[in-house]
Amino acid sequence: MFQGYSADKFFDEMFSSDGTVRDHCEPLHQKFKNFDKDDFLARKATSELYFMRQGITFNVYGDDKGTEKIFPFDPVPRVIPANEWEHIEAGLTQRIVALNLFLHDVYHDQEILKDEVIPRHYIDDAVNFRKEFRHVDVPKDIYIQICGSDLIRGADGTYYVLEDNARCPSGASYLLENRNSLKRAFPALFDTLGVRPVDSYPRDLLNMLHHISPRREGEPVCVLLTPGCYNSAYFEHCYLARRMGIEIVEGRDLVVMDNFVYMRTTKGLVRVDVIYRRIDDDFIDPVVFRKDSVLGVPGLMNAYIAGNVALANAVGTGIADDKVIYHFVPKMIEYYLGQKPILPNVPTYLPSEEKDMDYVMKHLPELVVKAANESGGYGMLMGPQASKDEIEKFRGLIKADPRNYIAQPVISLSQSPTWCDGAMEGRHIDLRPYIIYGEDVKIVPGGLTRVALNKGSLVVNSSQGGGSKDTWVLK
């Protein structure tokens, strides 16, 4: 299975630079070595059939080849030893606590701006800073209840935080179904290897929703608010609602009366206490935000401000998603917690700073440039792989709106053995762990390992041709 496999010059998750198998991967390596190729391919086909029958899909906007696609899955898991996971877990916990303290501060007293740790104009000019919600209290002072912070691993094996997804992070359903698929197709892989389970995620998610409910008596009524079946993550919305045992609703299913939110049912109106929303701020209430939105609930923000309904995540968390604000997270950790960051950021240049602008303009062909509020691999320039025309186009975009861009050096993402084109080859990966912040911080052991299935590509997003793997955290 691994004959001819090359780790090249990248950090490989299974093999050391001298070609020997890493100790924590040896049991898995032995099991795969014992597979007959035909048996392996038959089991791989079983996992793909499972995804098809379960309808495990995603949508790509603007793709003329079809709306829904089966999520590509590679059956060779990514393995993380217990000591590495403890480090990741501590770093992510530190990070989400600091981000929540920042959000509470920036929507209330703004001490971090007064002390000039973050220049005020970066907040005032941010498209996702909701000035309307200054001094609005949120349940338990928690703004980001669900976070998906993307991690990458550099050539030296160091884990870096690439970005924080603090609004409506997606992908948890694929994490859960990757595990289910692998167990069905390769049940013997799990024997004696001590892999930590991931199936607590829906329960932890529901417990968090109950924790932030404004109504304390009786069982809170929680719903998942979806934009509808044409959203790229609609499969996940249905999946998580079903696993939690709560209703999935669209905006038209909810109505606001006397600053309370009610769900329309066949038996009449039912009061709603908590909304797990998968709709961005701009579309959630046409009275306050986009007037042309037909996805949201008119008057929802009145009920929210009155404290009669809780939202996960809170309105205004997009400021923490801003890639320019990402640059300041290490300073937030030091400012609010008095600690050094456990997980470092990728070095980041801000073209809105004169010195950084000079550097970016001189080194643009060597850098990765990202728009501050884009996601999914859109609005990005991979300098070393870009044409001269693309580089010049971005040069103009950056000069025209420097606040809207960041630039970073190219990090050689780690790679993991992946079955591609009839052979086992190294493909670049990242990791999206899922953090739930309720009564305490819960992190599902592992996360979604995304794979750049195109050879040499560093872009792992499903919308750009990526797939995923099961992620094993060892006990």
pTM here is 0.93
Q: Delineate the domains of the chain, giving CATH numbers in brackets.
A: 24-84+171-195+429-473 (no CATH), 93-147+199-337 (3.40.50.11290), 354-409 (3.30.1490.270)
Lowest model confidence (mean pLDDT) among 11-25, 60-74, 450-464: 60-74
How far apart are the C-alpha atoms of 157 and 20, rounded to whole Å? 16
Provide the pLDDT confidence category of residue 64 given band limits of 50, 70 and 90: low
E-assigned strand segments in 17-145: 57-59, 68-70, 73-80
End-to-end CA distance of the chain: 26
CA-closest candidate to residue 176, choices 208, 151, 200: 200
Cβ 277 vs Cβ 234: under 8 Å: no
Provide the pLDDT confidence category of residue 466 given band limits of 50, 70 and 90: confident
Give the other-Cβ count within 10 Å of 277's Cβ. 24
pLDDT mean across residues, the chain: 92
Beta strands 405-409 and 415-420, pairing class: unpaired
User: Is the model's pLDDT at 63 over the cut of 60?
Assistant: no
User: Is the model's pLDDT at 83 over the cut of 60?
Assistant: yes
Express each pLDDT in 21-53 by its tens digit.
999 999 999 999 888 999 999 999 998 888 888
HSE, CB side, 13 Å, CA atoms: give it for residue 329.
33
- Winning range, highest mean pLDDT, from 51-65, 85-99, 212-226: 85-99
Instruction: Convert 376-392 to b/e letters by CB count within 10 Å (16 or more is b).
Output: ebebbbebeebeeeeee
SS3 at position 272: strand
In order, the DSSP letters of 386-450 are --HHHHHHHHHHHHH-GGGEEEEEPP---EEEEEETTEEEEEEEEEE--EEESSSEEE-SS-EEE
Across residues 54-68, what is the average pLDDT?
60
Express each pLDDT in 229-281 by its tens digit.
888 889 999 999 999 999 999 999 999 999 999 999 999 999 999 999 999 99
Provide the pLDDT confidence category of residue 348 given band limits of 50, 70 and 90: very high
Cβ 221 vs Cβ 272: under 8 Å: yes
CA distances for 285 relative to 55, 137, 259, 264, 295, angstroms: 31, 18, 13, 17, 8
Provide the pLDDT confidence category of residue 188 given band limits of 50, 70 and 90: confident
Place of tokens 């604000």: 325
